[in-house]
Structure 1
Amino acid sequence: MSTIETRNLTKFYGETRGIEDLNLAVEEGEVFGFLGPNGAGKTTTIRTLLGFIAPTAGGATVLGRDVRDERALIEAKRRVGYLPSDPGFDEETTGARFLDYQASLKGDARRGELLDLFDAPTDRKIGALSRGNKQKLAIVQAFMHDPDLVIMDEPTSGLDPLMQERFYDFIQAERERGKTIFFSSHILSEVRKVCDRVGIIRDGRLVTTEDVETLLDRSGKRVRVNVEESVDPADFDIAGVHDLSLDGEVRFTFTGEYDALIDHLSAFHIVDLDVEEAPLDEVFMRFYGGEAHA
C-alpha cells in the first residue's frame, strides 16, 4: 500500500484551478520530490492531503486513511510531520514554549537530538529570530515526534548553505531509517541531492513522474563557451543543442551525448568553458510545456 495516493484529485477555487486530475503514489520509505514553479499547485496539493482544504473532486489517502474522512485523517496525522512553507508562529512566545506546546499535542521523543543537530535557538521570543532560525525551529517540530511520514513545503527556505547540507544529510539518514518524505521544491539541485523520485506539476496538472536520474538526463546542461574563432549558428548545428545564443560568447542548453559535444568543441580554440545544470524553468519549457498546456 502506498503511503500517499491520489486519484484524480482536483481542487478549484471558484473558476480558478488549483490542481486537476492529480494521480500519484508515494511509496513507503522513499523521498519523493514534488517539483514545480511557484504557483504550480504544490501547496494546494499538500493542504488537500492534510485535510486543511476539501477537494472539489477525486480523492486521496494518507497512510491508508481517506483525506475526506475527518476522524480517520486525524488518526493518520498522529504519525505525520508537517513543515509548511511559511510557519505561523506566535512570535511573542519563546522557541522552548512553542516546542512544549507541540510536544503536548504529539510527543517529542527526538526533540533534544534535533535541537542539537540543527542548533535551533529556544530561549528567545520567536519574533526576534532570523528567518533561518525560525525555519530550524519548524524543522525540529516536524520531526520531533518521530513520524512515519513527513510532508514539507519548501523546507530549506531561509537556511544558509551549510545548514542546507546538514538538512540534506539528515533526510538521507531518515530514509535509511525507513521514513517516507514528501516535499515540494522549485530547486532542481535540491531534489537531485536527496530524492528517489519526482513528480513534476505545472498549472495544476501532473505532467510526469520519474526517477531523478531520468529527469537529469532529460534536462541537459547549460553550456557557455568562448572560442578564438568567429562562429555562426551553423557551427553549432548538432544534435542536442537548444536555445543557441551567439551574443559575444556561445551559449546553449545541451541534451545530447557529451562525448559528441567534446569532439565537436575540440575543433575550436577554447578560451573558456562552463557547464552547469539547466535551470528548472528551462526544463519545464523544453520537455513539459506542450504537455502541460494540452
Structure 2
Amino acid sequence: MNVIETRNLTKYYRDIRGIENLNLSVKEGEIFGFIGPNGAGKSTTIRTLLNFIFPTSGSAKVMGLDIVKDNKEIKKLIGYIPSEVHYYDDMKVRDLFQYSAKFYEQKFEEKTKRLAEIFEVDMEKNISDLSFGNKKKVAIIQALHHSPKLLILDEPTSGLDPLMQNRFFEVLKEENNHGTTIFFSSHVLNEVQKLCHRVAIIKDGKIIEVEEIEKLRKRNYKKVTIELEKSNMDLTIKLDGITDFSADNNLLKFLFSGDVKQLLNYIYEINPQNFWVEEPSLEEIFMHYYEKEEK
C-alpha cells in the first residue's frame, strides 16, 4: 500500500513555479527522504499534501484519501513537524498538549510525559519563555504523542543540538518499528543517510530521481581541495574515482569516490601546501550524479 501517492501534482503561485507534475509514491512502513536545495519545492509539496495550500492541478492521496476532499480525516491520522514553529505565547506547554489532545479520540498522557522526559521539556513553562530549539522539541512531542500512522517532517532538526538530534532519530526509529510511515524532508545529506530507506531528490519543482539509500551510501563521495605551492595547470591526477575535476591557479578541486588510501598516498607524493577533505553538499553530490545520468 502507498501511504502517499501523487499524480502530476502541480502548484503555481500565479506565474511562479512551486512544484510541477510531481509523481511520487511512499510505501507503508517506509522512512522516505525528500531532499533538495532550498527553493527546490520541498515545503510546497508538504503544504500541498497537508491541504494548507491548494494544488493548481494534478492530485494526491494520503492513506488512500484525497488531500482536498478528505483533508479532515487525513489530519486525524498524521503528525506534522514544520520547519518553523509558532504557538500562542501565553499558553503553558502542558496546556498546549492538552489542547492538542482534544482533537483526537484516545488518551495519551503517558506518552506525552515520556517524550517530555526524553527531550527534557519543562511542561510548566510558558511558550513565550522557550528558545527556538525548545519550541521545536514541543512540536516534536505534539506530532508524536498520538502515535500517528504517517509522520511528515519538514527540516525537523533545525534548532536541535547534536544530543537532541540523536535522541530524535532514536525516537523516529522506534515509531517506525511500531508501524509509522515517515516522510522526511531535509537538505542535510547526513541525516538522510542515517535514517531513510529510500530518497527522492527534487530540483526546480520536479522529481529528478528516486534512489535506495544503500546505493547512495556506496558512492561515498568526498569533496577534495588541494593547494599547491605554485600553479601547475598541467598536473594530471591518475586516480580512479575522480569526477568534476577543476584547476584554478594553484588550487585543484574534485569529487572523489575511490580508495581513500590511494588518495592520501597521492597527496603525500605531490607535497601540497595544504589540502581539505570535506563532505560535499547535498546539491553537489546529487546534481553531479543526475547530470551524469542525463548525459
The 10-residue stretch of structure 1 (121-130 or 219-228) with the greater mean CA deviation from structure 2: 219-228
CA distance in 1, matches of 2:169, 2:253: 31
CA distance in 2, matches of 1:55, 1:219: 37
Is 1:4–1:63's contact at 8 Å kept on the other side of the alignment?
yes
The number of residues matched between the two structures is: 291
SS at match of 1:10: strand
Q: Render the CA deviation track for 1:124-155: whole Å, top value 9, x for unaligned.
A: 21122111000000000000001111001110
> Residues 38 and 291 from structure 1, CA distance in 2 versus in 1: closer, same or farther, beyond 3 angstroms?
farther
| Matched AA of 1:206 | I
- Pairing 1:283–2:281 present: no
Is 1:80–1:147's contact at 8 Å kept on the other side of the alignment?
yes
| Matched AA of 1:123 | E
Residue number in structure 1 paired with 2:32: 32
List alignment gaps of at least 5 residues for structure 2. Answer: none
RMSD after superposition: 2.7
CA distance in 1, matches of 2:207, 2:146: 31
Residue number in structure 2 paired with 1:3: 3
| Matched AA of 1:282 | E
Write the mapping of 1:138-177 to structure 2, written as runs, cut at 5 A: 138-177=139-178
Q: Cα offset for 1:288?
A: 3.8
Residue number in structure 2 paired with 1:19: 19
Is 2:231–2:249's contact at 8 Å kept on the other side of the alignment?
no
CA distance in 1, matches of 2:214, 2:52: 33
CA distance in 1, matches of 2:87, 2:94: 12
CA distance in 2, matches of 1:15, 1:230: 48
Q: Cα offset for 1:271?
A: 7.9
Q: Cα offset for 1:5?
A: 0.7
Is 2:229–2:250's contact at 8 Å kept on the other side of the alignment?
no
| Matched AA of 1:2 | N
Write the mapping of 1:217-256 to structure 2, written as runs, cut at 5 A: 217-218=218-219, 220-225=221-226, 232-236=233-237, 238-239=239-240, 240-245=242-247, 250-256=252-258
Q: Cα offset for 1:286?
A: 2.0
Q: Render the CA deviation track for 1:18-64: whole Å, top value 9, x for unaligned.
A: 10111111111111111011111111111111111111111111011
| Matched AA of 1:3 | V
SS at match of 1:222: strand
Q: Cα offset for 1:289?
A: 5.6
Residue number in structure 2 paired with 1:90: 88
CA distance in 2, matches of 1:285, 1:28: 28
Is 1:31–1:194's contact at 8 Å kept on the other side of the alignment?
yes
Q: Cα offset for 1:160?
A: 0.7
SS at match of 1:22: strand
Is 1:10–1:20's contact at 8 Å kept on the other side of the alignment?
yes
List alignment gaps of at least 5 residues for structure 1. Answer: none
Write the mapping of 1:186-197 to structure 2, written as runs, cut at 5 A: 186-197=187-198
Residue number in structure 1 paired with 2:101: 103
| Matched AA of 1:24 | L
| Matched AA of 1:197 | R
The 10-residue stretch of structure 1 (263-272 or 5-14) with the greater mean CA deviation from structure 2: 263-272
CA distance in 2, matches of 1:124, 1:21: 45
SS at match of 1:145: coil
Residue number in structure 1 paired with 2:121: 120
Q: Render the CA deviation track for 1:165-195: whole Å, top value 9, x for unaligned.
A: 1111221222222211002111111111111
Percentage of pairs with the same residue: 44
SS at match of 2:123: coil
Is 1:51–1:68's contact at 8 Å kept on the other side of the alignment?
yes
The 10-residue stretch of structure 1 (237-246 or 174-183) with the greater mean CA deviation from structure 2: 237-246
The 10-residue stretch of structure 1 (235-244 or 128-137) with the greater mean CA deviation from structure 2: 235-244
CA distance in 2, matches of 1:170, 1:130: 22
SS at match of 1:19: strand
> Residues 243 and 269 from structure 1, CA distance in 2 versus in 1: closer, same or farther, beyond 3 angstroms?
closer
CA distance in 1, matches of 2:153, 2:26: 14
> Residues 168 and 248 from structure 1, CA distance in 2 versus in 1: closer, same or farther, beyond 3 angstroms?
farther
CA distance in 2, matches of 1:259, 1:199: 32
Q: Render the CA deviation track for 1:85-117: whole Å, top value 9, x for unaligned.
A: 112201111111111100111255221111111
